[in-house]
Structure 1
Amino acid sequence: MNLNYLKIFLLTIILTSQVSCDSQDENDDVKTKASKAFILKPENFKDYVDKFNTMEGENIVQAIPNDSSLNWMQENIPLFETSQKSFEEMFYYRWWTARKHIKETPEGYAITEFLVERSYADKWNLISCALSHHIHEFRWLHNRDYIDENVHVWFRGNDGENMEKLRSFSSWTAASLYDKFLVDQNEDYLLDMFPDLVEEYEAWEGDRRRDDGLFWQYDVKDGMEESLSGGRHVKNTRPTINSYMYGNAKALAEMARMKGDEELAQRFEKKADTLKQLVEEKLWNPKDQFFETFTENDTCANVREAIGYIPWYFNLPDENAEYNEAWKQVKNEEGFLAPFGLTTAEQRSPRFRTHGTGTCEWDGAVWPFATSQTMTALANFMNNYNQDIVQKEDYYQLMDLYVESQYYRGRPYIGEYLDESTGYWLMGDRERSRYYNHSTFNDLLITGLVGLRPRADDKIEVNPLIPQDQWEYFCLDNVLYHGDILTILWDKNGERYNKGKGFKIFRNGNEIASADSLKRIVSE
C-alpha cells in the first residue's frame, strides 16, 4: 500500500474511533441522567409506569408515546417516595400524564391542554389558559427545552409574532417565568423574553384596565365559566386578573433590575403598588372578610369564591389580621371544605351549584385548576405571613383530599371538574376530559408539602408542611435546582435510607443541613 494512503487509512481509523468514543460518552451521559439521584432509583417507579400504560388504549399519541414514557421519566423527573403510597402514585401519574401533552411543532415543543382537538384552540391545538400552570409544573424537568420552547411558541410561533390567541385568557406568565428562573437560574432566557412580556403587559393595560386602575375580565376569559359572581358576558372586576397583573408587574420590576434599568423597575414597582392598594381597598369585603368580585356596576357580588385566595398566590395582601381571617374558610364545611376537595364557591351560598352540570360551571364544583391556585396561595400564606389560622395538619388534609379526588373507578385520573360530595368527575367518560392538563400537582408537592422554596440567592430553604408524625419516611430526590441535584428526606427511625434519623438535605450527595424534626431549614 502507498505510504500516503496508509497514513490516511490509519488517520481515518483514529478519527472514527474518536467520534465513536465521543458518541458513546454522550450516550452514556444520557443514560446516566437519572443516576444523579442520591438515594432513590428510577427502577423503583417502573411498576407505576407499567400500570399506567396498561390502564388505557393509547388512542392519541403526541411527541412521547407510552412505550417511551419510562425512559423519558427516567431522564427528566425528580423522584419521590413516601410511606403513604397514594401520594407517591399520584406524583408519578401526574408526570406520566404531563408527558402526554408534549407536542412537536415546526416552531419547537409545545404543551397542550386537551389531547382532543378543540374548536377554539390556536394552531396545533394550543390553549393559553393554563400556560402558567404548565410553567410551574414543567420547571422541575431536567430538560427545560420543553417549557422554554413552549413559551417561545406562544410568543413567537406565528411568523415571529404572538400566537393569535395568546391573550384569549388572563395571564400570569411574567410572574411564572420569574418563578421558573428561581429554579433554573437561566437569566439569559428570562431577559430574552423580557421585551415580549412587557409588550403583553401593556396590551392588557390597553384593553382591560379601567379608569380607576383596576382590571376587568369576563369570567370565561379567566377560564372560569358560569361563576356565581358574574357570567360569560359581563365585565367584572375580579381578584383573578388584578392579582395576575400585580404579580406580573412585580416580576417585570425584578427583570428590569437584572437588566440594570432601575427607572423601568421603579415604573413597574409603582404599577404593582397601585394595584395592591386598589385590590385591598376595593375588592376586600369587610362584611365577608374576603376578597370578592365587583360587578361592572361597581357593586360587590357578596359571595366568597376560591378566586378570593389568588392575591396570596403573589403575596399581594399586607400582613393584616383581618385579611388572614379569609383562610378560616378553607377549614369550614359551610365555606370551601368538602368531602372531595376545595369548592370553587362557598357552600353556604343559596346559589351554590345552581347552574346545572356538564357545561363548565364554576358555581361550587371542585376544579383542580382552582385547587392548584388556592394551594399555592396557602403555601405562601403559611411561609410568608405571621399567622396562626392554618396549620400543617390543615395543609396536609387538603393535599390528601386533592390526591384522593384524582381517582376514577379506582384508578388514577385527572379530568376537568368533579362533584364535591361524591367525587364523580362531571364530564364522566367524555374523551375531552381525560388527562386534562389544566392544573398543577407535583409543583405543589415539591414547593408546598415537601417545602422546597425557590429563591434568587444561593441559599436553600426547605419548610415541610407535613405534620411531624404523619409519615414514617419520605424522600424527594434528583431535583435539579440552581444547577445542582438536591435530595430532601425524612427518616423517622433512620432505618429507611441509612443516613441517620431525622430531616436532612443533600446537595450533589453531600449533606448540607439536618434537623431532628420537620421544620424550616435555610442552608447557607
Structure 2
Amino acid sequence: PRTTERRSACYNFSNSAQCNWNGGSWPYETSKVGTALINLLQTYGPQSAADVTTFDRLLTTYAVAHTRSHADGISPPHVDEDLHPDDGYWITRRKLHGIPPWPGTGGLGSARHPLSARGTHYFHSTFNDLVLSGLVGLRAHAKYFEVYPLSLATSFCATRLRLRAVDVSLVWDSDGSAYTHGPGLHVWLGGRHVGSARGVSVLEVAPGLLPPRLHVSYDGERLVAIGRGEAGVVPIGPRFEEE
C-alpha cells in the first residue's frame, strides 16, 4: 500500500531526502493494513471488497518486498524504511548509498559506516505476526484458541508456537502429499496430536480445498471444526462459549 494516493499532489519521488511519506510503501504501515485485514476477515467473514484472496495477494507481495531480489537482482533478506511502490526498490537504501536513480545522495562516507548494512536488520515490520495470525490463523481467546487460516496454500507447517504456556504445532496438508500425517489441518499440543479436520471446498473463493476453521481447548480435550463462514459452507460443530 502507498502512503499517498497516486492522484495526490504529494505523490512524487523528487525529494532527495531519505525518509519521505510521499507515496512510498513503508513496511510498518503495510503491517498495520495487513493486521486490519486479518481482523476484518476473521471477525466478520468475507466482504464484497475483500476476502482470503485479497490477503493472500497482500502477504505474497509483502514477502517479495522483504528481499532485494525483485528489484536489484540479488536475493538476501532485506527490510529497509520505504519501498518504491512501482519499481520495487528500497528508496532509502539507494539514497543512502547513492545508487541510481539517486546518484550523489549517499550520506555514508565509508563502506564501514554503521548504517551501511541497515537493511539486513532494520526490523520494523510485523511480517512474522501476519504469517502466524493471518496465513496460519492462530488467535488466542480466554477459553480456547482458534485456527482460522487465511491461506490459499495447499500446505504449511508451523511448529512450537508458545501459547498460554503450551507449545502449539499446526500442519495443513490439503491432500496429504506434503507431510506424513494425512490430509487436513492437524493440531499438536505439547507434542501430543489432539486432532485434525479435513479441508473445505469454497468454490466462490478458490478451486481447491481451503483449511478448515478450528476451535481448540487449551487442554486439547476438545477440537471443533466450525466452518469458515464463506457462502455455501455449513458449520459442522458448535462454537465455544466464552464465560
Fold match (TM-score > 0.5): yes
Matched, 1:463 2:122: no
Matched, 1:448 2:134: yes
Match of 2:215 in 1: 522
Correspondence list, 1:98-497, <5 A = 342-353=1-12, 356-388=15-47, 389-408=49-68, 409=72, 410-411=74-75, 412-428=77-93, 430=96, 431=115, 433-434=118-119, 435-455=121-141, 457-467=142-152, 471-497=153-179
Question: Are the aligned partners of 1:355 and 1:363 in contact in 2 as well (CA < 8 Å)?
Answer: no
| Amino acid across the alignment from 1:474 | F
Where structure 2 has 5 or more consecutive residues not aligned to the other structure, the ranges are 97-114, 200-210, 218-243
| 1:427 shift after superposition | 1.6
* Cα separation, 2, equivalents of 1:513 and 1:390: 31
> Percent same amino acid at aligned positions?
30
Question: Are the aligned partners of 2:4 and 2:10 in contact in 1 as well (CA < 8 Å)?
Answer: no
Match of 2:236 in 1: none
| Amino acid across the alignment from 2:193 | E
Structure 1, residues 403-432: CA drift from partner, whole Å, max 9, x if none?
A: 111111322211111111111111225326
Relative distance call for 1:387 and 1:506 in structure 2 (3 A) is same
Larger RCO (CA within 8 A; separation ≥ 6): 1
Correspondence list, 1:57-136, <5 A = none
Q: Which SS does the other structure have where 2:162 is aligned?
A: strand
Structure 1, residues 158-216: CA drift from partner, whole Å, max 9, x if none?
A: xxxxxxxxxxxxxxxxxxxxxxxxxxxxxxxxxxxxxxxxxxxxxxxxxxxxxxxxxxx
Match of 2:190 in 1: 508
Question: Are the aligned partners of 1:505 and 1:513 in contact in 2 as well (CA < 8 Å)?
Answer: yes
Match of 2:205 in 1: none
Two-structure CA RMSD over aligned residues (Å): 1.9
* Cα separation, 1, equivalents of 2:84 and 2:13: 13
* Cα separation, 2, equivalents of 1:396 and 1:378: 11
* Residues paired across the two proteins, number: 179
Where structure 1 has 5 or more consecutive residues not aligned to the other structure, the ranges are 1-341
Q: Which SS does the other structure have where 1:371 is aligned?
A: helix
Question: Are the aligned partners of 2:27 and 2:82 in contact in 1 as well (CA < 8 Å)?
Answer: yes
Query: Radius of gyration: which is bigger?
Result: 1
Question: Are the aligned partners of 1:491 and 1:503 in contact in 2 as well (CA < 8 Å)?
Answer: yes
Question: Are the aligned partners of 2:18 and 2:91 in contact in 1 as well (CA < 8 Å)?
Answer: no
| 1:358 shift after superposition | 3.2
Question: Are the aligned partners of 1:513 and 1:521 in contact in 2 as well (CA < 8 Å)?
Answer: no
| Amino acid across the alignment from 1:413 | H
* Cα separation, 2, equivalents of 1:449 and 1:476: 10
* Cα separation, 1, equivalents of 2:33 and 2:143: 28
| 1:385 shift after superposition | 2.3
| 1:354 shift after superposition | 5.8
Q: Which SS does the other structure have where 2:41 is aligned?
A: helix
Relative distance call for 1:351 and 1:481 in structure 2 (3 A) is same
Structure 1 length-normalised TM? 0.33
| Amino acid across the alignment from 1:447 | S
Structure 2 length-normalised TM? 0.68
Match of 1:152 in 2: none
Which structure's residues are more often helix, by fraction? 1
| Amino acid across the alignment from 1:443 | D
Question: Are the aligned partners of 2:12 and 2:22 in contact in 1 as well (CA < 8 Å)?
Answer: yes
| 1:472 shift after superposition | 3.1
| Amino acid across the alignment from 2:213 | R
Q: Which SS does the other structure have where 1:377 is aligned?
A: helix
Which structure's residues are more often strand, by fraction? 2
Structure 1, residues 248-276: CA drift from partner, whole Å, max 9, x if none?
A: xxxxxxxxxxxxxxxxxxxxxxxxxxxxx
Relative distance call for 1:357 and 1:392 in structure 2 (3 A) is farther
